[in-house]
Amino acid sequence: MEEVIPTEEELKVIQQDNAKHMIRGRIQANVGDPETLLGTTADAVQLLLFGFTGLIAKLHTANSLAEVREAAAPFSELAEGFQNKVSSGEVKLPFQIKGLSSVVEDIEKRATAVAVVLENSSGE
């Protein structure tokens, strides 16, 4: 059998894939399994959706700056505390480490790929 030697580009892809798997393994060992991380993500999205929809509903009927402030009040303390922890470095968010443009690019690619699958499956 003839030995196949990967090209420099193929080797780079393999190394990137191996590094990604190592990082994911460290996350699973030190933070939580995928189901735990998914649960935390679901909690965060639901909290965000609840707060956001409540804010929008109240802002829609607000007639004064006082009513706007009142609409923001329920989550104001939570938001300020969270922002302060992030600003001080007590809480670190993965997108800060990955880089905002990299995260947005990943979201765009993945969302578009899922949309294309859904679009192509709509007749089934």
pLDDT digits (tens, 9 = 90+) for 83-122: 999 999 999 999 999 999 999 999 999 999 999 999 999 7
Percent pLDDT > 70 in the chain is 100
pLDDT digits (tens, 9 = 90+) for 7-24: 999 999 999 999 999 999
Helix axes 65-88, 34-61, angle to 10 degrees: 150
- DSSP letter for 100, please: H
pLDDT band at 80 (very low <50, low <70, confident <90, very high): very high
- pLDDT band with cut points at 50, 70 and 90 for residue 3: confident
Q: What tokens appear for 18 in the block?
A: 């191996």
Are the C-beta atoms of residues 40 and 24 closer than 8 Å to each other? no
pLDDT of residue 119: 94
Give the global pTM.
Answer: 0.73
Q: Determine the Cα–Cα distance for residues 43 and 79; give it in Å rounded to an integer.
A: 16
